[in-house]
Structure formats: C-alpha cells, structure tokens
Chain A
C-alpha cells in the first residue's frame, strides 16, 4: 500500500495505559503505535518508541505472549524549567499474543531512531511429500 505523502500529519495524543500489575516505580505508561504486517516468511512489528535506548528496552516472550517494554530517557537537563509541556515521557508497554507458528529462537530486534523493528520468522513448514500410489 502506498503511503499518502501529501497528507498533513495530525497531532495525536499518546495513549496512556494502566499497568496490569501493580506498579512499583512512579511514572506514566503509554501504548506505542505499532504496524504489524505478515509475509509468507515472517511477521514484522514496528513500534514507535521515541526516547528509548536499547539498554532500556526489554522484549520478553513467554507462553506465546510477547511483551515490549521500554523506558524513555528524560531528555531535559536538570536545571531547565519547563515553559510549555505538550507531551509527557514515560514507559512504553504493550503485549501481543503470538501464534504457535513463530520460530521463537530466531526473533530479531532492532531499535533505530526511536523505532523498534521486530522480525518474527515463521516456522518452516514441513515440506509436503508426494506419495505415489502404484496400482498393481
């Protein structure tokens, strides 16, 4: 699908979420915007997580539930006073349930310019065998 380049981007508020478990650390939690697409070979997930560095990103996969969690570093210096606050920073958190067809050992994650790219390869299908029936 071609992207519509002439469109004006609209300001969108971040979706704030409450953590399913009780929080032990202060701070806000947001749902990152994601694109997920599937090809014959793999499932690709792209997530916007601005301000997250690879050290502060955790990707966890257990019981077929993929959890992405990344903490955005506060970019403002210590002695700066805010004049205008239009967005808040916090932790990005989102969970997805995966199907069995994902080859969980070959998952590849790449974080660049605040965008996480997660490649989830599908399990190679058993090659179909042709059985020839010989008639006597």
Chain B
C-alpha cells in the first residue's frame, strides 16, 4: 500500500516486477550451476554409442548407455590403447495386429573404437552390463600407473 501511494502504481504491478526479477535470478543461478558442475557436454563424436571416459589411478572406465542390450550381443575388444565396442540393438516387432502410436526407440548395428590416453593391460579388461549401462574397466599398464616417488 505504501508502494502504491509512493509510486502511483497498482500493487500487482510491483509484485509482477519482483516475480520477473526472481525468475531472472533463478535462470542466472541455473546457468552458473551448470557451468560450475561441468555438466555440459564437452565433446560430441556423433558415433553411437555416446561414451563417458573416466580414470582413476588404477584404470580407465568407459561407460555407455545401451538400454535393452543383452551381454552376448556385445563384442568388446581391447588392444594397445584402443577398445572397440561392437554390437547390434534389436527391437522385437510387436506383431501384425499392433498399431504403433510412438516409435522413437531405434535398432541397428553399431561399432565404436575409443582410444585411451595411456597403455592398458588388455588381458585384464573387464566389462559389465547393468540396468542398460555398459562399463568397461581397462586396468592401466604397470608403466602407465602413477608412482609415488619418495624424496631422499
């Protein structure tokens, strides 16, 4: 009521202005959040499947989202610094008398080779598939692991 008399504006206009400011502030917060957490996609290869590569002191980890894939269809090969993931996604047909309303899930072949920065022990590569996420663990070669060096 004070605002109204002081600025000669109806009360709801003031409130709308504050709502708008709040909205802008939220958008700015979101923008900064996404920048600081590094959630932005940093690289797109355009090859299926999209992978995330991480490392710790022991190994490299390649992860890919492959929903509905069975482990026996996937072929994973590791040589030197490269790991290849090959497979085929099959979507069984719903039958003759089924009528489709949406058809967004795709089937087809795929093959992808990922090069990791260091040498790996290809004999110890392990892969697991759970909840549609493939994880390939590539243990680092002994020479490639970081070593603690004590100063004398």
Chain A residues with CB under 8 Å of chain B are 1-13, 26, 28, 33-40, 43-44, 46, 48-53, 73, 75-77, 79-88, 113-115
Contacts and interface: CB of A to CB of B under 8 A. Distances in A.
Contact of A49 (B42, B129, B132): B132
Contacts of A43: 101
Interface residues of B, number: 58
A75 B63 contact: yes
A80 B51 contact: no
B90 interface: yes
Nearest to B53: A84
A77 B135 CA distance: 11
A37 B56 CA distance: 44
Interface stretch (B1-9, B13-21, B106-114): B106-114
Nearest to A39: B98
A8 B109 contact: yes
Interface centre among A10, A75, A76 (most CB of B within 10 A): A75
A9 B106 CA distance: 7
Contacts of A13: 41, 44
Contacts of A2: 93
Interface SS of A by simple majority: loop
Interface stretch (B66-74, B76-84, B119-127): B66-74
Nearest to B129: A113
B105 interface: yes
A6 B45 CA distance: 21
A30 to B, nearest CB: 11
A75 B135 CA distance: 9
A3 B90 contact: yes
Contacts of A5: 88, 90, 107-109
B133 A75 contact: yes
B67 A35 contact: no
Given A38-B101, A50-B133, A85-B38, 14 more contacts: A11-B45, A11-B46, A37-B98, A51-B132, A51-B133, A77-B61, A83-B54, A83-B55, A85-B41, A86-B45, A86-B51, A86-B52, A113-B67, A114-B65
A125 B53 CA distance: 53
Contacts of B91: 3, 35
Contacts of A8: 48, 108-110
12 contacts: A4-B108, A7-B108, A9-B106, A37-B94, A50-B67, A50-B131, A51-B132, A80-B56, A82-B38, A83-B55, A86-B43, A113-B70
